[in-house]
A and B are shown apart, each in its own frame.
Chain A
């Protein structure tokens, strides 16, 4: 274990931070609630709990009697604050200790530092310094070393640089934060870094700039455009008509300020209702120039304070090496330029101004050795641990957004405190005294499993390793009304490559109802309004690996050519939204994005709809599939299987004949019976000889895998090797699924990867060119153009111009007759 202090804390007036030095680098810890590095130095005392940080800051204005901020200014004074909610007095030291304890929670590594460096302003006298030290001790740090903020900042800058040349001569540290301004003159005296003079203003910072934007830019602009009497007063008054707007504008102004650091102008957008009750959308452009005009005086004032130090110390600009800029407000470009221009001293902005002090404190901590060894503090979780036990009661599954939790606590609880936090960082109970019975309303994240941890602390806020149970509550997802899907729900899409249709999974088996999903599919064929064609959105229930014909149809929307308001072009998108309610109603909505036409229908699972045309098409596809299988079985001399399939074909023909005889408005059950029969036959066909098919496709998969690996190795392409490994990662699951389509999909992925490699190789294009060059020119759809491209290709080959050769090959490919088109009998769904 390291014997260095390593931990540094910037205990700021407005915000505080904690950092750690490790292995030559500094890490700034983040708040587990919201991942921010800064913790507002604000403490709120509610009736039953203590809140520190962001949530406490929310309450400053509204409950000032119980919420405390800027108490750092009172450190070392005899002043104490009365807290009405607890009928108790709190000193600045106690409040600071609460902030320091909260910072300990940022340490995600589980370390419990017993020593720490805490920074103090250059202006702090001995009493104030000792008060800070006491706060550190009260927060559970047995050893506290203090470091002046300008020194800490200087260390952060010095460590950023390759050599420590900047640590020579003297320099200024200009610190303009959220609410305070400080400047310090730092130099090396007798080999030691010292603050030799300082100045400051406790009421100058970034918040003033936000207010200036609202009061000097936004308000006049609004009053120019609209009738808004007493706007500023109405905004600033707690009961004013525009008080809500004022809070919105404060947030927006802060955003504008940040944007203006990088852009010459920023937009501000909000709504306002005028005196007549008329709402207006406001778009204001605020330029950096305007912003600089309204903050100029304040920045000038800060520069004047710097000049005061320089004059007071009888220095000139040449005597000062640089001005080190820290504090969030130094991001503002004018601050840097004004300081540099007016002082004539180079400014140094090389370190994050928000974290510089904490980082510097950690650098320093990395060099300091722990002198006091406190075994009790370093091993707070060992012997002597109070035997605290919890008997909890809460509902583990709920549909509510919050859940009541209660526990009976046994053991010596006096003087201990606890806090309940949600693992995703969305809930924090605040610090509460541990009692024999505790209770809490826990806020839940929706549709997920919520995990809460109970943390128990001793009086010094050291976390105790008591046997606290984990609270796990499932919200929404395991609603008692929810029921799982018994089968996959899929839609049927075209598989043009194999001249058939296939299933695409929408909702997985065992997903909990209700469910909703939107997908985008491509229209696979042009549908003219004058044609007899249609687009089918067919929702099926069954295994995603089965063939579509074997699944139970749940609902289908047929978009006929006559329903279209414009022709539908191949390649346009259709947005399909499927929703299944808890009572299993299926809603299908399809939007043709090309013309914004919408079709929707709700299917009740009790009412099955059969489309005779689709049924006939299914049978045609099954017949094709069957005849292919018969051929294949005969080739492999599996005559028994061929005979089985032959029987299936006969039955299919029988169904087809019956269907042809049905009138379009047939009211009997026959089409349902025929659909049922077809499904059974499809399942039978699918399973007949499936084993053989799987063997073949599996063999193909391994060949393709080997070929792909060979190509990648030859190219020594590590990025593609990673992708290859990703593709084959779930190989065993894929192969054991025994699904033809799943294995085929893997092969397609490998093919794509192979093609990416091969298309960059000249020989790929040379071989392809020879192939197309050998096709008789007369066989191309346009022989004249084909001859021209053959010639272009020939010349490109001679000149070894492979880019040109690629063009020629692509053109020749496009001129090849579309043989697929001729044999294509697939009516399909028209989507894919």
Chain B
């Protein structure tokens, strides 16, 4: 990955952390707009940032790496997202730039 993309990914990961915190803490809600704006700037620049939190766990989904906690079950969901999934679209071609890092558990 080129240094600029690496820098972008680092910033995206930090913004994602901020986003998680503000969602959990109502007193930080005033930051949400700024966070949304930074995310929007990245999206305008061709990045697609996905947060699979709460989605069903699928072993065919290869844009994230999951650690499975607790017992295996056919009905699992993503309970924690450590790093978001990031795609980058360049010249109409979309590809994965960062695999998500998630924790999956039985519902």
Which among A35, A58, A518 is the interface contact of B36 at CB below 8 angstroms?
A518
CB of B23 within 8 Å of the partner chain: no
Residue of B nearest to A281 (CB): B21
Determine how close the nearest CB of chain B comes to the CB of A578; give it in whole angstroms: 13
Given the known inter-chain contacts A244-B80, A428-B60, A591-B33, please indicate yes or no for A239 contacting B70, CB distance below 8 A: yes
Q: Does the CB pair B33–A425 fall under 8 Å?
A: no
Q: Does the CB pair B62–A34 fall under 8 Å?
A: yes
Q: Which of B40, B62, B66 has the most CB of A within 10 A?
A: B62
CB of B19 within 8 Å of the partner chain: no
Collect the chain A residues with CB atoms within 8 Å of residue B103's CB.
Answer: 244, 247-248
Q: Does the CB pair A425–B37 fall under 8 Å?
A: no
Collect the chain B residues with CB atoms within 8 Å of residue A428's CB.
Answer: 60, 62
Kindly identify, within residues 589 to 634 of chain A, every residue whose CB is under 8 Å from any CB belonging to chain B: 591, 596
Collect the chain A residues with CB atoms within 8 Å of residue B48's CB.
Answer: 445
CB of A309 within 8 Å of the partner chain: no
Count of inter-chain pairs, beta carbons less than 8 A: 103
Q: Does the CB pair B97–A35 fall under 8 Å?
A: yes
Determine how close the nearest CB of chain B comes to the CB of A452; give it in whole angstroms: 11
Binds B, one of A59-67, A479-487, A635-643, A804-812: A59-67
CB of B82 within 8 Å of the partner chain: yes
Determine how close the nearest CB of chain A comes to the CB of B42; give it in whole angstroms: 13
Given the known inter-chain contacts A518-B37, A591-B33, please indicate yes or no for A448 contacting B94, CB distance below 8 A: yes
Q: Does the CB pair B61–A427 fall under 8 Å?
A: yes
Given the known inter-chain contacts A58-B68, A248-B103, A575-B37, please indicate yes or no for A426 contacting B63, CB distance below 8 A: yes
Collect the chain B residues with CB atoms within 8 Å of residue A670's CB.
Answer: none
Collect the chain B residues with CB atoms within 8 Å of residue A520's CB.
Answer: 37
Given the known inter-chain contacts A251-B67, A575-B33, please indicate yes or no for A58 contacting B95, CB distance below 8 A: no
Collect the chain B residues with CB atoms within 8 Å of residue A426's CB.
Answer: 61-63, 85, 87, 96
Collect the chain A residues with CB atoms within 8 Å of residue B82's CB.
Answer: 248, 251-252
Which among A54, A248, A575 is the interface contact of B65 at CB below 8 angstroms?
A54
Kindly identify, within residues 45 to 88 of chain B, every residue whose CB is under 8 Å from any CB belonging to chain A: 48, 55, 58-63, 65-72, 79-80, 82, 85, 87
Given the known inter-chain contacts A34-B99, A35-B96, A596-B30, please indicate yes or no for A238 contacting B70, CB distance below 8 A: yes
Determine how close the nearest CB of chain A comes to the CB of B35; give it in whole angstroms: 12
Given the known inter-chain contacts A247-B103, A428-B60, please indicate yes or no for A62 contacting B40, CB distance below 8 A: no
Q: Does the CB pair B60–A424 fall under 8 Å?
A: no
CB of B12 within 8 Å of the partner chain: no
Collect the chain B residues with CB atoms within 8 Å of residue A401's CB.
Answer: 55
Kindly identify, within residues 30 to 73 of chain A, every residue whose CB is under 8 Å from any CB belonging to chain B: 33-36, 44, 46, 51, 54-55, 57-59, 61-63
Q: Does the CB pair B62–A58 fall under 8 Å?
A: no
Q: Does the CB pair B59–A244 fall under 8 Å?
A: no
What is the bound-complex CA distance between A59 and B73, given in angstroms? Answer: 11
Residue of B nearest to A520 (CB): B37
Given the known inter-chain contacts A427-B61, A443-B61, A575-B33, please indicate yes or no for A244 contacting B69, CB distance below 8 A: yes
Q: Which of A244, A247, A252 has the most CB of B within 10 A?
A: A247
CB of A699 within 8 Å of the partner chain: no
What is the bound-complex CA distance between A252 and B83, given in angstroms? Answer: 10
CB of B15 within 8 Å of the partner chain: no
Q: Does the CB pair A61–B33 fall under 8 Å?
A: no
Residue of A nearest to B85 (CB): A426
What is the bound-complex CA distance between A596 and B59, given in angstroms? Answer: 44
What is the bound-complex CA distance between A591 and B31, given in angstroms? Answer: 13
What is the bound-complex CA distance between A248 and B101, given in angstroms? Answer: 9
What is the bound-complex CA distance between A350 and B50, given in angstroms? Answer: 37
Q: Does the CB pair A248–B62 fall under 8 Å?
A: no
Q: Does the CB pair B63–A250 fall under 8 Å?
A: no
Kindly identify, within residues 774 to 791 of chain A, every residue whose CB is under 8 Å from any CB belonging to chain B: none
Collect the chain A residues with CB atoms within 8 Å of residue B63's CB.
Answer: 33-34, 425-427
Residue of A nearest to B24 (CB): A271
Q: Does the CB pair A443–B58 fall under 8 Å?
A: yes
Given the known inter-chain contacts A248-B80, A248-B82, A251-B82, please indicate yes or no for A59 contacting B68, CB distance below 8 A: yes
Q: Does the CB pair A250–B67 fall under 8 Å?
A: yes
Which among A33, A238, A244, A250 is the interface contact of B79 at CB below 8 angstroms?
A244
Kindly identify, within residues 14 to 29 of chain B, every residue whose CB is under 8 Å from any CB belonging to chain A: 17
Collect the chain A residues with CB atoms within 8 Å of residue B94's CB.
Answer: 423-424, 445, 448
Determine how close the nearest CB of chain A comes to the CB of B33; give it in whole angstroms: 7
Collect the chain B residues with CB atoms within 8 Å of residue A62's CB.
Answer: 68, 71-72
Collect the chain B residues with CB atoms within 8 Å of residue A596's CB.
Answer: 30
What 0/1 pattern do residues 92 to 107 of B give for CB contact below 8 A with A?
0011110101011100
CB of A698 within 8 Å of the partner chain: no
Which residues from chain B sit less than 8 Å from chain A, CB to CB?
17, 30, 33, 36-37, 40, 48, 55, 58-63, 65-72, 79-80, 82, 85, 87, 94-97, 99, 101, 103-105
Can you list 27 A-B pairs with a CB-CB distance of less than 8 A? A33-B63, A33-B96, A34-B99, A36-B99, A54-B65, A55-B59, A58-B104, A59-B68, A59-B72, A238-B71, A239-B71, A243-B70, A244-B69, A244-B79, A247-B69, A250-B67, A251-B82, A401-B55, A425-B63, A425-B96, A426-B87, A428-B62, A443-B61, A445-B48, A445-B87, A445-B94, A575-B37
Q: 3 tightest A-B contacts by CB? A: A247-B67, A426-B63, A33-B62
Which residues from chain A sit less than 8 Å from chain B, CB to CB?
33-36, 44, 46, 51, 54-55, 57-59, 61-63, 238-239, 243-244, 246-248, 250-252, 269, 401, 423-430, 441, 443, 445, 448, 518, 520, 575, 591, 596
Name 19 extra pairs, CB < 8 A, besides A252-B82, A445-B48, A575-B37.
A33-B62, A33-B63, A34-B62, A46-B59, A54-B99, A57-B65, A59-B72, A63-B72, A238-B71, A244-B79, A244-B103, A248-B103, A424-B94, A425-B62, A426-B63, A426-B85, A426-B87, A443-B60, A518-B40
